[in-house]
Amino acid sequence: MSSVLNNFNDDTICAIATAMSDAGIGIIRVSGKDALTICDKIYVSSKKEHTLLTHKPNTIKYGYICNDQGDIVDEVMISFMKGPHSYTREDVIEINSHGGMLVMNEILSLLLSKGCRLAEPGEFTKRAFLSGRIDLTKAEAVMDIIGAQNKFALDSSRAQLQGSIYKEVKALREDILYQMAYIESAIDDPESYDLTGYSDKLKEKVTAMSEKIRKLLKTADEGKIRKDGIKTVIIGKPNAGKSSLLNALSGNERAIVTDIAGTTRDVIEETVRLDDIILNLIDTAGIRDTEDLIEKIGVDKAKEKVEEADLCLYIIDSTSEIDDEDKQISSLCADKKTIVILNKNDLTGDIKISKDILPMLFSGSDSVDFPVITTSLLNGEGIEELKRAITELFLDGEIAPKQEIYITNLRHKELLSKTVESLALVIDSIEKDLSEDFYTVDLTNAYVYLGEIIGEEIGDDLAEEIFSKFCMGK
Residues numbered 455 to 474 that lie near ligand GDP (CB under 6 A) are none
Taking CB under 6 A as the rule, does residue 298 contact ligand GDP? Answer: no
Contacts of 178 (CB under 8 A, 6+ apart): none
Q: Partners of 273 in the beta sheet?
A: 278
What Cα–Cα distance (Å) separates residue 7 from each residue in 54, 126, 454, 464?
32, 11, 18, 10
Stretch that binds ligand GDP, among 91-99, 175-183, 376-384, 441-449 (CB under 6 A): 376-384
Which one of 156, 219, 264, 330 is in contact with ligand GDP (CB under 6 A)? 264
Our CB check for ligand GDP shows the closer of 240 and 453 to be 240
Which one of 32, 238, 455, 473 is in contact with ligand GDP (CB under 6 A)? 238
Q: Are 295 and 285 in contact (CB under 8 A)?
A: yes
Which one of 32, 122, 229, 241 is in contact with ligand GDP (CB under 6 A)? 241
Please report how close the Cβ of residue 373 comes to ligand GDP at its closest, in angstroms.
12
- CA angle 197/202/207 to nearest 5° reads 135
How large is the angle between the packed helices 164-188 and 436-454, nearest 10 degrees?
150
Taking CB under 6 A as the rule, does residue 257 contact ligand GDP? Answer: yes
Our CB check for ligand GDP shows the closer of 179 and 239 to be 239
Residues numbered 311 to 350 that lie near ligand GDP (CB under 6 A) are 343-344, 346-347
Residues numbered 164 to 193 that lie near ligand GDP (CB under 6 A) are none
Which one of 160, 243, 284, 445 is in contact with ligand GDP (CB under 6 A)? 243
Our CB check for ligand GDP shows the closer of 157 and 343 to be 343
Please report how close the Cβ of residue 252 comes to ligand GDP at its closest, in angstroms.
14
Our CB check for ligand GDP shows the closer of 211 and 323 to be 323
Stretch that binds ligand GDP, among 215-223, 232-240, 325-333, 455-463 (CB under 6 A): 232-240
Our CB check for ligand GDP shows the closer of 81 and 333 to be 333
Our CB check for ligand GDP shows the closer of 258 and 435 to be 258
Taking CB under 6 A as the rule, does residue 236 contact ligand GDP? Answer: yes
Our CB check for ligand GDP shows the closer of 122 and 241 to be 241
Taking CB under 6 A as the rule, does residue 96 contact ligand GDP? Answer: no
Q: How many residues does the chain have?
A: 474
Q: Dihedrals φ, ψ of 224, to 5°?
A: -65, -45
Q: Are 272 and 387 in contact (CB under 8 A)?
A: no
Rounded (10°) CA dihedral 191, 197, 202, 208: -150
Our CB check for ligand GDP shows the closer of 253 and 335 to be 253
φ/ψ region of 251 (left if φ > 0, alpha if ψ in -120 to 50, else beta) reads left
Taking CB under 6 A as the rule, does residue 101 contact ligand GDP? Answer: no
Q: Are 45 and 61 in contact (CB under 8 A)?
A: yes
- CA angle 139/405/227 to nearest 5° reads 75
Instruction: Label residue 368 exposed, middle or buried (CB < 10 Å: 0-12, 13-18, 19+).
Output: middle
Instruction: Label residue 181 exposed, middle or buried (CB < 10 Å: 0-12, 13-18, 19+).
Output: exposed
Beta strands in 203-275 (DSSP E): 230-235, 268-273
Which one of 157, 210, 280, 376 is in contact with ligand GDP (CB under 6 A)? 376
Q: Which residues bind ligand GDP (CB under 6 A)?
A: 236, 238-244, 257-259, 264, 343-344, 346-347, 376-378
